[in-house]
Amino acid sequence: MSWSVLEALRTNPDVLKESLKKRYLSTDLVDRALELDSRWREAVTELNRLRERRNEINRAIPHASPEERQELIKRSKELGAKVKELEELVKNLSEERDTILMSLPSIVHESVPEGPDDTYNVPVRFWGIPKVPKSKLERFREETSGFDVEYRVVDWEPKGHADELELVLKQGDTLKAAQVSGSRFFYLFKDIVWLEQALVMFALDHITKKGFIPVLPPYMMREQYYLGVTDLETFKDSIYKIEGEDLYLIATSEHPLIAMHAGDTFTEDELPRLYVGVSPCFRKEAGTHGKDTKGIFRVHQFTKVEQIVYSKPEESWEWHERLIRNAEEIYQQLEIPYRIVNIAAGDLGACAAKKYDLEAWFPAQGRYRELVSCSNCVDWQSYRLRIKLDRKGRREFVHTLNSTALATTRTICAILENHQREDGVVEIPKVLRGYLEPFEAAPKEVIEPIKRLLKE
RNA sequence: GCCGGGGUGCCCUAGCCAGGAAGGGGGCUGGCCUGGAGAGCCAGUGGCCCAUCGGGCCGCGAGGGUUCAAAUCCCUCCCCCGGCGCCA
């Protein structure tokens, strides 16, 4: 049983180097890891021989005569010293090798576009009829170049989601939240609260209909398990730590939902395993100063409905396509125009072998912006957490996949811009009606401006 | 948080007090047997290394220590069960 990256290292290091080059990462580590691995194997072989000899002697001691015994103990002690020495070497070699191995990203899939950053992401399809203000026509043509996307020109300027929320509808307040908690936090009020809840229920409803098991996971995790599900870079930049405890706030329910099967072995008939997680997500957003500072597009805390699949290795690419389609169905029903982009290798996280983003059209920004991420992590997470598949005695690592179904704050942003009318009223997508109907105080068709709730 | 009892391979369990190659049962897989099935019998059923056959090393919740030798003794930590305390 082997991890695809480790197997490539030993049998076909060029494949691994190619993959790293595509990600614009150094390939030096591959040669270093190879050298460490071969030295480790040599040392382990020698260590095993020494231990074998020592064990033989130790087994003879209880049956030996008193005078033989002293001699045997002496020899065992001598061997023991050598064993200890070699154990130290083996430990150092394997630790250094494993540090490198654990830093290596998944081998990128052949269908992943080449390129160093997000400007090389490749749109694969568009859906919906975007509303394009005249002032954003040029931007729109850039964003859709190469595709024949039907669109409608509007002759008024939609408000950006932040102004719409706080100045027009007056049902959100990020200033007060900044005072209380800091930047990138928010208070949401009244209709937006109902909208948020309805979005969660709608997404949960849609995904569970497809056989996914709903899960409410722990919102904090230990470091050991955290490092099994994500790379160090993400860990440092995104994850909040609880002071004085070995606990971290989850950045997505993907993390506890994958750690949930750490150490488990599935049989073939137990796969695929489908889960849909619902949880708040906490993110430090370190290194994003100045980006999306207004409104609730990029915040430290939001609710997300997340699809998770544990699959047989040979079925994971099919599941990757299905997961993004599930997310598309949600945004089609919410009547939000979007495009799907294939993320360039240089912009890909370490766990993922391939990633699709669903980007919604934002009329006021004149841009497509990320709402959904859909990744195939192949055996990257399952290797670290030892999540196995038992094929009649032969063991393999399962593949893990994750995809947003719906993240509330960003979806609210997209609704505020796409379903905004010239008079400032926001039309609620019809599909949400059933999730608002039972509640007397909930809005049903539209969200209208109200008087400011907090002091001016 | 305190007191007590536990954690042994996929599951259950013996071994721990009193240190000396982890034993039994179940499940699963394969083989023998059978017209076929069942029963019965045999073998396999954690990770790693060398290797042609095969052999070896590690592994008893995790990490240290004592010892020629640790599932077994000592220390720290994690988790589960019971009791007390606290609590939405």
- Span A26-51, pLDDT tens digits: 999 999 999 999 999 999 999 999 99
Residue A78 lies in a domain: yes
Cis peptide leading into residue A272 (ω within 30°): yes
Range of weakest confidence among A12-16, A186-190, A233-237, A435-439: A233-237
Residue A19 lies in a domain: no
**Do A56 and A191 reside in the same domain of the chain?**
no
CA→C1' distance for A392 and B30 (Å): 10
| Active site positions of A, annotated | 283, 298, 370, 373, 410
Domain boundary, last residue among A103, A138, A171: A103
**Do A167 and A38 reside in the same domain of the chain?**
no
**Do A402 and A341 reside in the same domain of the chain?**
yes
**Do A136 and A91 reside in the same domain of the chain?**
no
CA→C1' distance for A190 and B61 (Å): 49
CA A128 to chain centre: 26
**Do A98 and A174 reside in the same domain of the chain?**
no
CATH, residue A85: 1.10.287.40
**Do A56 and A179 reside in the same domain of the chain?**
no
Q: What are the φ and ψ backbone dihedral angles of A397, each rounded to 5 degrees?
A: -90, 140
How many domains, in total, are found in chain A?
2
How far is CA A180 from each of CA A13, A190, A289, rounded to the nearest angstrom? 52, 20, 19
Q: What is the ipTM of this complex?
A: 0.86
Q: What are the φ and ψ backbone dihedral angles of A353, each rounded to 5 degrees?
A: -95, -20
Residue A3 lies in a domain: no
Confidence of residue A186 (pLDDT cuts 50, 70, 90): very high
Cβ of A41 near strand B (under 7 Å)? The reply is yes
What single letter denotes the amino acid at residue A66?
A: P
CA pair distance A413, A407, nearest whole angstrom: 10
Domain that holds residue A222: 118-447
Query: Is the four-CA dihedral A291, A294, A296, A300 of positive or negative sign?
Result: positive
Report H helices in A345-451: 380-385, 408-418, 433-436
CB A97 within 8 A of CB A37: yes
Q: Which nucleotide is nearest to A10 (CA to C1')?
A: B49
**Do A138 and A175 reside in the same domain of the chain?**
yes
CA→C1' distance for A89 and B8 (Å): 30
CA→C1' distance for A393 and B25 (Å): 21
Cβ of A11 near strand B (under 7 Å)? The reply is no
Residues in CB range of A224: below 8 A, 6 or more apart: none
For A277, counting Cβ atoms within 10 Å of its Cβ (0-12 exposed, 13-18 middle, 19+ buried), the class is buried
Residue A12 lies in a domain: no
**Which two structure tokens, joined as six digits, stand for A157?**
């300027």
Residues 389-418 of A with CB under 7 A from strand B: 392-393, 395
What single letter denotes the amino acid at residue A255?
A: H
Residues 241-270 of A with CB under 7 A from strand B: 265
Phi-psi bin for A366: left (phi > 0), alpha (psi -120 to 50), beta? Answer: left
What single letter denotes the amino acid at residue A28?
A: D
Q: Tens of pLDDT along A363-385?
A: 999 999 999 999 999 999 999 98
**Do A152 and A31 reside in the same domain of the chain?**
no
**Nearest residue: Cα versus C1' of B51:** A45
**Do A85 and A132 reside in the same domain of the chain?**
no
Residue A46 lies in a domain: yes
Over residues A397-420, the mean pLDDT reads 96
Query: Residues of chain A with pLDDT > 90: what percent?
Result: 72
Cβ of A2 near strand B (under 7 Å)? The reply is yes
CATH, residue A160: 3.30.930.10
Residues in CB range of A99: below 8 A, 6 or more apart: none
How far is CA A43 from each of CA A8, A35, A50, A54, A85, rounded to the nearest angstrom? 22, 12, 11, 16, 11
Confidence of residue A308 (pLDDT cuts 50, 70, 90): very high
Over residues A376-405, the mean pLDDT reads 89
Residue A301 lies in a domain: yes
